[in-house]
Amino acid sequence: MVHLSNLKTNHYDVIVVGAGVIGAAIAYELVQQGVKVALLEKNQPASGASGAAGGMLAAHSEHFAHPELYQLALYSQSLYSKLATDLLEKTGIDIGLRTEGFLLPLTKQELHLRHKEPLQADQRYDKTFDENLFPLPNKSHTSASTHNDSKVDCKEWWSPSYLAQVEPHIYAPSGMIYNPDEPQLIPALFNQALVQAAIQHHVDFYPETEVYRLLHSQGKNHITGVITNQGEIYAEQVVLTTGLSTQQLLATEQYSLPLVPVKGELIEVSTSSQYLGHTIYGEGIYIIPKSNHRIWIGATSKPERTDTTVDLSAIAQLLSGAEQFLPAIGSATFERCWSGIRPGTPDELPYLGRIQPLAGLWTASGHYRNGMLLAAGTAKWMAEALINNDTAHIPDCFSPERALQKSKSLSSKSRSTAKGVTTWN
């Protein structure tokens, strides 16, 4: 074990455990407001779910069952243009933010059901397209947050003839809906830029630092830091942003917070020339153009799978899904495949806020398939809560208290604190 004398310091205002996009964004937001922050990561940034994501910021296209989550998504998405510029200026890292927009497939039957009259073949788009015809989640609901800077959706129907001019490789006999408001980015670069920017603002970053357990005061009701393979590190507040591993760390304190693993697999192909200019966001399939004529195709969804292998059947499934819209994708060059484990919750709402029975302990976890989209907004909300010690601006539906339970007993793995224990950040 590394002695405390080798640590940068051993007392902070806030320790953030986990340097994926959620944790790195929170650390970056806090340090800009004068908070002394330590950012701990078991491996390296983007080594977990953050690095395996597709990078879509689909606030308008994603189907959110909860209006509060939809509002957070809209708010968070609105922050990315400025955030990308700031990160580039501070770190020199271009996070690959692309704003061409998304194309959403729709069948002829669905189109005719929602329009009184069929579209003419030569129409570029149907100017009558609106939310009454294609309903989105209820935007009349306003959450407890006052940060609703989203703009009204502006969608267009692109007829097959117009689509053929813009995207000649796409097959869509009934056209597609164009949503100009949806951007996408490179997740690993975004994660790296957040960490680098945080470091430049004097966040102390501890990679390869494994958290064994939480430290607490003699009364055991106040968390005062963490025990790591680098020694004990103290703080006024600790934030767990470790995704699925959050539940194991809480288990060491005899609390249960349910998180649901959902494995996702993706593939990357390359083409000899520009093949796709807009992200295709379909049912069960997305096709994302990246730089240098690379295309990402994702993603499978396998609940309760925690392995990070890629099944051969998954590659076939993704290619088959992509060929529906890009028939010639089979001639592209296969580059790589990968998988990640999305941290979901039973009600599909992330946990944002205090772990109430343990003063000084917070979490931001369980963002499922929208961690990349929600990272910027989550960081704003959590930083405000930590600095003011107040969660009034965070809707109650996100509170960990809705699912937190006292465990009856600890497993032998959870009790272990010595060398050789399983660690979770």
**DSSP-derived pairing of the beta strands 11-17 and 231-240:** parallel
Percent of the chain past pLDDT 90, that is, above it, reads 77
**Contact indicator for 169, 157 with CB cutoff of 8 Å:** no
Q: What is the mean pLDDT of residues 183-189?
A: 98
pLDDT of 217? 85
pLDDT of 105? 93
Q: How far is CA 211 from the centre of its chain?
A: 22
pTM of the complete model: 0.87
Rg of the chain on CA atoms, in Å: 22
* 408 — pLDDT class (breaks 50, 70, 90): low
Q: What is the mean pLDDT of residues 246-264?
A: 94
Residue 65 burial by CB count (10 A; 0-12/13-18/19+): exposed, middle or buried? Answer: exposed
- Please say if the pLDDT value at position 46 is more than 70: yes
* 218 — pLDDT class (breaks 50, 70, 90): low
**Contact indicator for 225, 242 with CB cutoff of 8 Å:** no
Please say whether the dihedral angle defined by the alpha carbons of residues 195, 199, 200 and 203, taken in this order, is positive or negative.
Answer: positive
pLDDT digits (tens, 9 = 90+) for 293-320: 999 999 999 999 999 999 999 999 999 9
**Integer Cα distance of 255 and 205 in angstroms:** 28
Q: How far is CA 234 from the centre of its chain?
A: 28
Q: Name residue, tokens 């979770």.
A: 424
Q: How far is CA 30 from the centre of its chain?
A: 19
Q: What is the mean pLDDT of residues 171-193?
A: 96
- Please say if the pLDDT value at position 122 is more than 60: no
Nearest C-alpha neighbor of 257 from the set 359, 342, 341, 363: 363
Q: What is the DSSP letter of 234?
A: E
pLDDT of 242? 95
* 415 — pLDDT class (breaks 50, 70, 90): very low
pLDDT of 155? 84
pLDDT of 152? 43
* 220 — pLDDT class (breaks 50, 70, 90): confident
- Please say if the pLDDT value at position 18 is more than 50: yes
- Please say if the pLDDT value at position 7 is more than 90: no
Collapsed DSSP state (helix, strand, coil) of residue 73: helix
pLDDT of 134? 36
**Contact indicator for 184, 84 with CB cutoff of 8 Å:** no
Q: What is the mean pLDDT of residues 60-80?
A: 96
**Integer Cα distance of 258 and 124 in angstroms:** 48
Q: Helix-strand-coil percent breakdown of the chain, rounded to 5?
A: 30, 25, 45
Find the DSSP H helices in 106-261.
108-114, 160-166, 187-200, 246-251
Q: Please, what is the average pLDDT of the chain?
A: 86
pLDDT of 425? 42
Per-residue H/E/C for 55-72: CECCCCCCCCCCHHHHHH
pLDDT of 424? 36
60, 66, 352, 375 from 241: Cα distances, Å: 25, 22, 10, 11
pLDDT of 107? 57
**Integer Cα distance of 188 and 204 in angstroms:** 20
Higher pLDDT, 182 or 120: 182
Helix axis angle, 21-32 to 187-200, nearest 10°: 30
Q: What is the mean pLDDT of residues 368-395?
A: 97
Higher pLDDT, 195 or 129: 195
* 42 — pLDDT class (breaks 50, 70, 90): very high
pLDDT of 221? 86
**Integer Cα distance of 2 and 62 in angstroms:** 45
Residue 367 burial by CB count (10 A; 0-12/13-18/19+): exposed, middle or buried? Answer: buried
